[in-house]
């Protein structure tokens, strides 16, 4: 079968790696892909949902896997389904869980699902009053719309109103910030939980923990994620059960009730406070870099899991996970996450990586010029190490980085340390 993967990051590269050994796969396409994905399949350069649908029809594509949120929110999966093309990814109605923080918080409130206390909208007086009435000194301000992971600001109460003014006026986040969610700041630890859903039922993939800050010890600016590991010992069986019963199940039921049935990957960003899980956010796709450390742990073929979701067969679906651990270290260009960086040649010996099925590099911000790989800026690749435990997996990941380099690359040296404490 021919499969089209939408996206261009290390997440999409890892999805491809998970499919490559499947004998059912005959050809893999990426739209748009990156400078390394064309070694795994063929990059196609088309834009627009109608054009993608036409490509699928003309090329007999059997399955489309949508990696990032933007095409989901734009309704690509609706368009594909209308044309009887199999697609893994929720409808645009269900994708509003990520597309609008106000929509998401209102669902949680209406169906009594645990989340931080909040107010939403654009009425300055009401928003100011909510800030004044908070007991805590910290306030969380969130732009309603998509801001490429940058729309959340945690501020002190005395600066919050100025920040809010800049959001409402459009200075900070343009249209996306003219409506906001303001909420109380929760103090606990964060978990990323991924549920594969078919509208009614779900299965849980191994838990993961992301590292959002740029620098070691969780300091510096927020990023898209500088590394992840899985599974995390921070997620006990009891906690996971609570997350399933108190968060995921009621959310799926709620969306069905609202006429926005959820099929695909539901990514739950959870804050655990005094052993109780609260929803920080939902994403409607695999996390990046979490995806890169979860997929290598699947013993059951990814394609079987995707098919069970699309065919509404998750309820009785049995899947197996390897008894291994996985650590992914993101390597980024010099100016990430602030601005673009100069193109730099990536020096590495392919032999070191391709010979080892388990530990590997997943490429993201790279281009291929005359057969050489260049770092384009942003997050460039993820070194993914696998081992019998987190210590071994971490060693393998950092060992990979010793064999690949480009000018001024930066990465954290403490990925997965939280699991080792």
- CA dist 421 and 416 (Å) reads 9
Q: Does 12 bind ligand GLY (CB under 6 A)?
A: no
- CA dist 216 and 415 (Å) reads 8
Q: Which residue has the tokens 């995390």?
A: 232
Contact call for residues 59 and 220 (beta carbons, < 8 A): no
Residue 380: cis peptide before it, omega within 30 degrees of 0: no
Report the residue count for the chain: 421
Site for ligand GLY in 140-159 (CB under 6 A): 149
Contact call for residues 250 and 111 (beta carbons, < 8 A): yes
Q: Does 113 bind ligand AMP (CB under 6 A)?
A: no
Q: Which stretch binds ligand GLY (CB under 6 A): 13-21, 253-261, 287-295, 397-405?
A: 287-295
185, 234, 240, 358: which one contacts ligand AMP (CB under 6 A)?
185
Q: Please state the closest distance from residue 109 (CB atom) to ligand AMP, in A.
A: 14
Q: Please state the closest distance from residue 8 (CB atom) to ligand AMP, in A.
A: 21
Identity of the residue, 2 or 418, whose beta carbon is nearer to ligand AMP in the bound complex: 418
Residue 169: how many other CB atoms lie within 10 Å: 10
**Packing angle of the helix pair 92-99, 101-110 (nearest 10 deg):** 100
Sequence-distant (≥ 6) Cβ neighbours of residue 278 within 8 angstroms: 114, 115, 116, 186, 188, 270, 271, 272
Q: Please state the closest distance from residue 280 (CB atom) to ligand AMP, in A.
A: 4
Q: Does 190 bind ligand AMP (CB under 6 A)?
A: yes
| Contact of residue 288 among ligand GLY, ligand AMP, none (CB under 5-8 Å per partner type) | ligand GLY
Contact call for residues 97 and 104 (beta carbons, < 8 A): yes
32, 220, 269, 301: which one contacts ligand AMP (CB under 6 A)?
269
Q: Please state the closest distance from residue 185 (CB atom) to ligand AMP, in A.
A: 4
Contact call for residues 255 and 262 (beta carbons, < 8 A): yes
Number of residues in contact with ligand GLY, rule: CB under 6 A? 7
- 3-class DSSP state of 403: coil
Number of residues in contact with ligand AMP, rule: CB under 6 A? 13
Q: Does 283 bind ligand GLY (CB under 6 A)?
A: yes
State the Rg of the chain over Cα: 21
65, 243, 280, 329: which one contacts ligand AMP (CB under 6 A)?
280
What DSSP string describes 107-144? HHHHTT--B--EEEES-HHHHHHHHHH-SSSEEEEEES
**Short-list 214, 188, 216, CA closest to 417:** 216
Q: Which stretch binds ligand GLY (CB under 6 A): 82-90, 161-169, 283-291, 299-307?
A: 283-291
Q: Calculate the alpha carbon distances from 32 to 47, 212, 272 in Å.
A: 8, 26, 37
Q: Please state the closest distance from residue 96 (CB atom) to ligand AMP, in A.
A: 15
41, 68, 287, 377: which one contacts ligand GLY (CB under 6 A)?
287
Site for ligand GLY in 225-254 (CB under 6 A): 225
44, 152, 273, 391: which one contacts ligand AMP (CB under 6 A)?
152
Residues that bind ligand GLY (CB under 6 A): 149, 210, 225, 283, 287-288, 290
Residues that bind ligand AMP (CB under 6 A): 116, 140, 142, 152, 154, 183, 185-186, 190, 212, 269, 280-281
């Amino acid at each position: 079968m021919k499969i089209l993967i939408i996206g261009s990051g290390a997440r999409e590269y890892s999805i491809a790696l998970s499919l490559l050994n499947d004998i059912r796969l005959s050809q893999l396409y990426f739209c748009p892909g990156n400078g390394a994905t064309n070694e795994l399949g063929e990059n196609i350069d088309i834009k627009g949902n109608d054009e993608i649908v036409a490509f699928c029809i003309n090329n007999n594509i059997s399955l489309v896997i949508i990696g990032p949120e933007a095409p989901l929110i734009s309704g690509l999966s609706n368009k594909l389904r209308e044309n009887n093309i199999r697609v893994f990814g929720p409808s645009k109605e269900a994708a509003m869980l990520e597309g609008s923080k106000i929509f998401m918080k209102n669902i949680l409130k209406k169906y009594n699902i645990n989340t931080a206390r909040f107010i939403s909208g654009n009425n300055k007086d009401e928003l100011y009053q909510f800030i004044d009435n908070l007991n805590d000194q910290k306030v969380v301000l969130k732009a309603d719309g998509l801001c490429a992971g940058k729309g959340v600001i945690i501020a002190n109460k005395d600066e919050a109103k100025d920040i809010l003014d800049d959001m409402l006026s459009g200075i900070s986040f343009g249209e996306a910030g003219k409506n906001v969610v303001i909420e109380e700041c929760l103090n606990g630890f964060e978990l990323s939980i991924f549920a594969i859903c078919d509208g009614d039922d779900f299965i849980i993939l191994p838990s993961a923990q992301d590292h959002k800050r740029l620098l070691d010890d969780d300091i510096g600016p927020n990023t898209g994620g500088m590394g992840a590991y899985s599974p995390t010992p921070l997620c006990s069986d009891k906690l996971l059960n609570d997350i399933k019963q108190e968060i995921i199940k009621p959310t799926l039921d709620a969306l069905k009730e609202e006429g926005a049935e959820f099929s695909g990957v539901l990514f739950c960003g959870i804050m655990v406070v005094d052993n109780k899980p609260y929803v920080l956010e939902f994403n409607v796709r695999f996390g990046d870099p979490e995806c890169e450390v979860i997929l290598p742990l699947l013993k059951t073929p990814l394609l079987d899991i995707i098919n069970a979701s699309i065919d509404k067969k998750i309820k009785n679906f049995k899947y197996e996970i390897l008894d291994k651990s996985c650590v992914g270290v993101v390597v980024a260009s010099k100016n990430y996450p602030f601005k673009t960086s100069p193109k730099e040649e990536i020096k590495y010996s392919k032999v070191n990586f391709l010979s080892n099925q388990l530990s590997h590099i997943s490429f993201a911000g790279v281009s291929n010029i005359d057969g050489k790989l260049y770092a384009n800026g942003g997050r460039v690749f993820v070194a993914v190490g696998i081992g019998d435990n987190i210590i071994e997996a971490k060693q393998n990941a950092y060992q990979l980085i010793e064999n690949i380099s480009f000018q001024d690359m930066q990465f954290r040296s403490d990925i997965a340390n939280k699991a080792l404490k």
